[in-house]
Amino acid sequence: MPHEVAYTTSKGAIASITPTPADHLADQAITLNTVNPGPVDTGYAPPDVHAAVARRFPAGRWGVPDDPARLIAWLATDDASWITGQVINTEGGFRRGT
């Protein structure tokens, strides 16, 4: 993402700081995680970009808003109570280097 330095820097910063507040909140039984949704089709990409990005997924499709939402909903349940301070990628196998 050579033309998106500020965007990738901010994503890296969020990933880097995630463990610190998670550690501070753990004693209060509060979990904190970061979810990286990867490319999600929210209608912002023009058709040529949409097609090019879709080819970078093994399934040949962008994520839809419900894809990361299901993970986030699960993280809010008791089943995920042991997961904290993590950066979780939910990006359908998105290939950045191809």
Rounded Cα distance between 83 and 74, Å, is: 11
Q: Which residue has tokens 């089709």?
A: 41
Q: Percentages helix, strand, coil for the chain, rounded to the nearest 5?
A: 45, 10, 50
Active-site residue set: 7
